Structure 1
Amino acid sequence: MSDYILKTNQLSKKYKNKMAVDKVSMSIKSGSIYGFIGQNGAGKSTLIRLITGLAYPTDGTFELFEKKSGQELIATRKRIGTIIEGPALYPQMTAVENLEAHRLLKGIPGKEGIIKTLEIVNLQDTGRIKVKNFSLGMKQRLGLAIALLGDPEFLILDEPINGLDPMGVVEIRELLKKLNHEYGITILISSHILSELHLLATHYGIIHNGELIEQLSAKELNEKCQLYIHIKVDDLNKATAVIETQLATRAFEVMPDGTLKLFAFTDTPGKVSKILTDAGLIIEEFMPMGEDLETYFSHLIGGVKNG
C-alpha cells in the first residue's frame, strides 16, 4: 500500500481568464492531519472540489488511493467522507433521521452504523430533539457523523470550525484528534483559523493565488517558528565570543543586519542580559521573539506578494 492517500501532479483549474488552481503538486501522507492554508479565494475550495469530483481539472492529474482515472477513481471516492460548504442537514429531522436519510442517499447497507457513528461524535443521547434546535457545535458534529457514514479512510473538511464559539472549536478539535489517533483516519482540513490548525495539523500546505507555495511538516514548521532572543549590542564580535565562552553555546545566528538570534536560554533571558552587561557590552535591543503559524503565513505571503 502507498504511504500517500492523495497525490496531485500539476493540477490546474481555469475559470474563464482566472487560474483558480495553478499547477498544484501536493501530497498527503496516510495517517496525517493536513492543514490546508490560504486566504479567501486562494484556491483551497476549488482544489477540494477537484479531488471530490465536484469539478473537473483543466490540466494535470491526481491519484486517490493510487487510483488515477475513470471508474476506479469514482469507486475509490467511496472511501472518503466530506464536509464542503457546511454540512447538508434536515432541520425538521432528528440526528438519527438525518443519518438514515444520508445513508440511503449514499447507498450504504444496514442501519447498524448509525448509532455507532453518533457515539463517536457524542450525539447518541439527542433522542427526539430536532436538528433545528441543535447548537452550531452540535450541527457541525452531526455533519461529521454524516461524513463518517460508511467508515471512510480519508476525511476532507472545508472550514469545519467556521463560526463556532471557543467551546465548539475545542470539541471539534478533540473529535478530529480522536478520529485520527484512534480510528486511523487521514484528514485534510481547510481553515483560515490558523492558530487552531497549529494545535491540530501534522503537515501543512500553503496555497496563494492558486499556487502551492510550500508544504512542510509540523516539525519543520516548529523549527522555522522557533523561539529565540533577539539581541543587538554595540560590539557584535565581542558578544558572540561572550555567548560561546560564558554561556557555552553556539545555538545562535548572526543576522545580515548585525543582530543576533539566540536560540538557547529562551526561558532565562535575564541570565543572558546580565552576562552581556557584566562583559561591558551595551545592549541596544533585547527581546524574546518567535513566530506562530499566523505570523509565519503572513510573512510567507508577504514575501510572495513582494517577490
Structure 2
Amino acid sequence: MIEYVLKTSHLSKQFKNQTALNKVDLSIKKGSIYGFIGQNGAGKSTLIRIISGLASPTTGTVELFVHSNGQALNEARKRIGTMIEGPALYPHMTAVENLEAHRLLKGIPGKECIEKTLELVGLQGTGKKKARNFSLGMKQRLGIAIALLGDPEFLILDEPINGLDPMGVVEVRELLKKLNQEYGITILISSHILSELHLLATHYGIIHKGHLLEQLTLDELNKKCKQYLHIKVDNPEKAAAVIESNLSTREFEVLPDGLIKLFGFVDTPGIVSSILVNEGLVIEHFMPMGQDLESYFMERIGGVHHG
C-alpha cells in the first residue's frame, strides 16, 4: 500500500477577484522529493502556506499523514518543517543562537538538537560568526537547519536555491539528497530553477495560474523528454524497414509528415546515417533532438515565459 504524507482535495483559494488555487488535487508519496514547478504567481507559495497552516483554503481539504480535520491536522503539522519565502534568521545572532531562539519558539525540549542539526547541515564550525556575515549558501543551510528542528518527517522548502551561486546550489542540493536518502525525510521543494530540480526531484507537479496541470514521476518525465534522432529521408517507409532490420530496434516512430524519431542511438548517430546512406537513402535532415524539463514545462503551460 502506497503511503502519502500529503494529499489535497479540490483545494481552492480565492483572494477577492483573484483565484490563486483552483481545485488542486495534489499527492506526495512518503520518501519522495517532490519538485513543485510553476511561474512566480502560479500558486506555489499559496499552496505551501495552506499546507503549513499559515493560510486557510476557501474550499477543499488538506490531508497530512492521513489526518484532515481540526486538532488532528494541527498535530500532524508538528511533523513538518518549513522554510517559506526565505530563511527567518536573526542577523545579529550566531548559528547556535538562531537555532536556540527557534527551539524555544517551537517549544522543543533540550539543547542537544542544536549541535546535531548544525552538523547535519555543515555549519558546526561557524563559532561566533553572525548570520549577517554568512554567505547566501550558508544562510540557506541555516534556514534549512531551523526547519529541521524537531526532526520533521516532511520538509517543505520554498525556493531554497534562489539567488545562490553555483557552489551554493551544489551545497544545498547535496544536503537535500542526504536528508532524503540517509534520513528518509520526504521533501517538497518549489522552484523555478528547473535544470536544478531535474537533478534532484523524484516526482513533479506542474502548476499554472492556480491549476495543477500534471503530476508525474522522474521516469515518466524522462520518457516524455526522451532524446531522439530526428530524421528526414526521401523514402521514410524504406528507412523504417532498414532501421528495424539493420539496427534491430523498433524504438522509433514514423510521423504523419514522414519524419522519423529514432530513440536509443543519440550517442551513435554516425552508425545510423551510414546505414541509411549505404541502403541508398537520401538524408534531408538528421540531428539529435529532445526536451529538457524547462522545454517540457514551457510546452505544458503554452509557451509562456516564466521567471
Question: What TM-score results when the alignment is normalised by the length of structure 2?
Answer: 0.97
Which ranges of structure 1 fall in alignment gaps of 5 or more residues? Answer: none
Report the residue type matching 2:162 in the other structure.
Answer: N
Give, in whole Å, the separation in 1 of the partners of 2:264 and 2:89. 52
* DSSP-derived class of the 1:42 partner: coil
Match of 1:31 in 2: 31
Give, in whole Å, the separation in 1 of the partners of 2:169 and 2:264. 34
Moved more, 278-287 or 146-155: 278-287
Match of 1:150 in 2: 150
Counting only pairs closer than 5 Å after superposition, residues 229-268 of structure 1 correspond to structure 2 as 229-268=229-268
Match of 1:191 in 2: 191
Q: Compute the displacement of 1:304 (Å).
A: 9.3
Q: Compute the displacement of 1:2 (Å).
A: 6.2
Kept in 1: contact 2:298–2:304 (CA 8 A): no
Percent identical = 75
Give, in whole Å, the separation in 2 of the partners of 1:15 and 1:254. 48
Report the residue type matching 1:26 in the other structure.
Answer: L
Match of 2:211 in 1: 211
Kept in 1: contact 2:204–2:218 (CA 8 A): yes
Report the residue type matching 2:260 in the other structure.
Answer: L
Match of 1:138 in 2: 138
Deviations 1:213-269 (A, max 9, x none): 000000110111111100011111111011111122111011232200000222110
* DSSP-derived class of the 2:301 partner: helix
Moved more, 187-196 or 254-263: 254-263
Give, in whole Å, the separation in 2 of the partners of 1:203 and 1:218. 5
Give, in whole Å, the separation in 1 of the partners of 2:287 and 2:203. 30
Give, in whole Å, the separation in 1 of the partners of 2:264 and 2:186. 35
Alignment of 1:63 with 2:34, yes or no, is: no
Kept in 2: contact 1:2–1:65 (CA 8 A): no
Q: Which runs of 4+ in 1 moved over 3 A?
A: none
Alignment of 1:280 with 2:280, yes or no, is: yes
Kept in 2: contact 1:2–1:66 (CA 8 A): no
Kept in 2: contact 1:203–1:216 (CA 8 A): yes
Match of 2:20 in 1: 20
* DSSP-derived class of the 1:190 partner: strand
Match of 1:111 in 2: 111
Number of equivalenced pairs: 305
* DSSP-derived class of the 2:10 partner: strand
Alignment of 1:72 with 2:80, yes or no, is: no
* DSSP-derived class of the 1:34 partner: strand
Give, in whole Å, the separation in 2 of the partners of 1:126 and 1:39. 35
Alignment of 1:170 with 2:176, yes or no, is: no
Report the residue type matching 1:281 in the other structure.
Answer: L
Give, in whole Å, the separation in 1 of the partners of 2:81 and 2:247. 53
Match of 1:45 in 2: 45
* DSSP-derived class of the 1:5 partner: strand
Match of 1:123 in 2: 123
Report the residue type matching 2:47 in the other structure.
Answer: L
Give, in whole Å, the separation in 2 of the partners of 1:91 and 1:40. 27
Kept in 1: contact 2:38–2:208 (CA 8 A): yes
Deviations 1:60-119 (A, max 9, x none): 112001110111111111100000010110111100000000000011111010000000
Q: Compute the displacement of 1:18 (Å).
A: 1.3
Which ranges of structure 2 fall in alignment gaps of 5 or more residues? Answer: none
Question: What TM-score results when the alignment is normalised by the length of structure 1?
Answer: 0.97
Report the residue type matching 1:238 in the other structure.
Answer: K
Match of 1:82 in 2: 82
Report the residue type matching 1:99 in the other structure.
Answer: L
Give, in whole Å, the separation in 2 of the partners of 1:30 and 1:264. 32
Report the residue type matching 2:101 in the other structure.
Answer: A
* DSSP-derived class of the 1:302 partner: coil
Report the residue type matching 1:259 in the other structure.
Answer: L
* DSSP-derived class of the 2:164 partner: coil
Deviations 1:139-172 (A, max 9, x none): 0000000000000000000000000000000000
Give, in whole Å, the separation in 2 of the partners of 1:244 and 1:102. 63
